[in-house]
Amino acid sequence: MDRREFLKTLAAAGALVTVKTSGMMDVMASTVPSGSQAAAADNADLAAVMNGEPAQMLEAAMKELGGIERFIKKGDKIVIKPNIGWDRTPELAGNTNPDLISALIKMCQDAGAAEIKVFDHTCDNWSRCYDHSGIEAAVKKAGATMVYGHEQSSYEKVEIPNGKTLKNAQVHKAIIECDKWINVPVLKNHGGALMTCAMKNHMGIVWDRRAFHSRGLHQCIADICTYKPAVLHIVDAYRTVATNGPQGRSANDVVLTKALFASADIVAVDTAAGKFFTGINKNIKFEDIEHIPDGQKLGLGTMDLESINVKRIKL
C-alpha cells in the first residue's frame, strides 16, 4: 500500500488520524472526538498522536494526560509490560518499539520510580525475542531491569473474582509484587482476536495462554484485565502489522502508521486504536472485536469516546 492509498483508506473509514505529508496534505477524520467535542477537563482522558517518532509522540501524549507524575510517584516500584512475543526485528513490528520503551523508562526515572522492571511471556524463544526485538538492549542501556517470563516458577496463582469465565490464573510475580504497572502493547492484526492492543497484551502476564483459546478467547481477555489494572496504557502504532498477524510474514504486512494512543482507560484506548486499525485493514469490522465490549460490560472503561476528553495531536 503506497502513502496515497493509505490516506484514502483512513479517510474512507473515518479513522482517527491527522496526517501531514510533504505536500502539506492533511486528512482529519471524526471517529474519535476532539477535546472541544468531549467533556471538559484539565487533563485529557485519552491522547491520540500522529506523525512523530516514538519518543516525541510519547512526550506529546503525556503532556495532554497531565504528565507521567499523574500516574507514577516517587518511590514506586514499576513494571513496564511491552509486547515482546515474537522473534522479529523492530522494522517488522511484531513487538513494541524499543525506542518507545527507552523513552518511557526515562520518564519513570525522572518521576522518581525506585525500581523499573520490564518483561513479557514470549511466544517464540524468549532469548531471541528479547534480543532481536531490540527491547532487552534498550532496557539495559536505559538503566532498568529486564526480567524473564519463560519459567513457570516466575508465576503465582491468583483469583480473578470479577472474571466472568476466567476465575483464576497464574500471573507473573513482577505484576503481583509491583506497586504499579504500565501496559505498552503494539497495535496489530491477530488471527484469533482480530486485533491485538491493550487488552490483548494482558495474555503476556499469564503462564497458560492456551486456556484462553479453549475457554473463549474474547471473554478471557476481558476477564484478565480485571486483575490489578495497569495505571496507564500506551499503544505503540508507529508501525502496524496490518495483515497476517500477530507476527506478519514479511515487510509487506507492515504499514508505517506513525501513531500513538495513551489513556488510563483500557476500553477507551482499545476503542480508539481499534477504529484506527480497522481503517487500515478494512477486512476486519470493529464490532467483531468482541473483547472490547466485553471489557466495557465488566466496568473496565467506556467505548463512548464522545463522553470523555480526547485530545488529538498532529506533530
Neighbours of 21 (CB within 10 A): 12
What pLDDT, on a 0 to 100 scale, did the predictor assign at position 41?
52
Q: Measure the N-to-C terminal CA separation of the chain; round to a whole number of Å.
A: 23
Does an H or E element contain 138, and which? helix 135-142
Q: Is the pLDDT of residue 18 over 80?
A: no
At the second CATH level, the architecture of 71-301 is 3-Layer(aba) Sandwich (3.40)
Cα 46 to chain centroid distance, Å, stands at 13
Query: Percentage of residues in the chain with pLDDT exceeding 70?
Result: 87
Does an H or E element contain 224, and which? helix 217-224
Q: Is the pLDDT of residue 39 over 80?
A: no
pLDDT digits (tens, 9 = 90+) for 205-235: 999 988 898 889 999 999 999 999 999 999 9
Neighbours of 32 (CB within 10 A): 26
Q: How confident is the model at residue 290 (pLDDT cuts 50, 70, 90)?
A: very high
Give the pairing of strands 168-172 and 155-159: antiparallel
What pLDDT, on a 0 to 100 scale, did the predictor assign at position 248?
85
Phi/psi at 216 (nearest 5 deg)? Answer: 110, 90
Q: Is the pLDDT of residue 1 over 80?
A: no
What pLDDT, on a 0 to 100 scale, did the predictor assign at position 213?
83
Is residue 80 within 8 Å of residue 108, measured between CB atoms? yes
Residues 6+ apart with CB under 8 A from 80: 101, 104, 105, 108, 116, 117, 118, 144, 181, 182, 184
What pLDDT, on a 0 to 100 scale, did the predictor assign at position 230?
98
Is residue 108 within 8 Å of residue 69, measured between CB atoms? no
Q: Is the pLDDT of residue 26 over 80?
A: no
The C-alpha atoms of residue 261 and residue 123 are separated, in whole angstroms, by 25
Query: Percentage of residues in the chain with pLDDT exceeding 90?
Result: 81
